[in-house]
Amino acid sequence: MAEKIIKTGNSAAVTLPAKFMRDLNLKIGDPVVVEIDYIKGEITFRFPGARQLHLTPPPKRERTKA
């Protein structure tokens, strides 16, 4: 996913897509842990209160005939 840097007052921000916020049950004001690697030019965001996403849908239960 690619996002843009936007200006917010005298600062800058990167927006999070609404679907991402919904999927992880994130709210405005939730804590975010930020790790910066200046050598690689990477920033990692961790959301401590977020719930884990399922990688695949849960398997459907088979109905047994009685």
Q: Show me where the domains of the chain are located.
A: 5-46
| Cβ proximity of 12 and 5 under 8 Å | yes
- Measured distance CA(41)–CA(16) in Å, rounded: 19
Write out pLDDT tens, residues 17-57.
999 898 888 999 999 999 999 999 999 999 987 776 666 66
Q: For residue 59, is pLDDT > 90? A: no
pLDDT at res. 58: 64
5-46: CATH number: 2.10.260
Beta bridge partners of 42: 37
Measured distance CA(18)–CA(5) in Å, rounded: 16
Say what the pTM is.
0.61
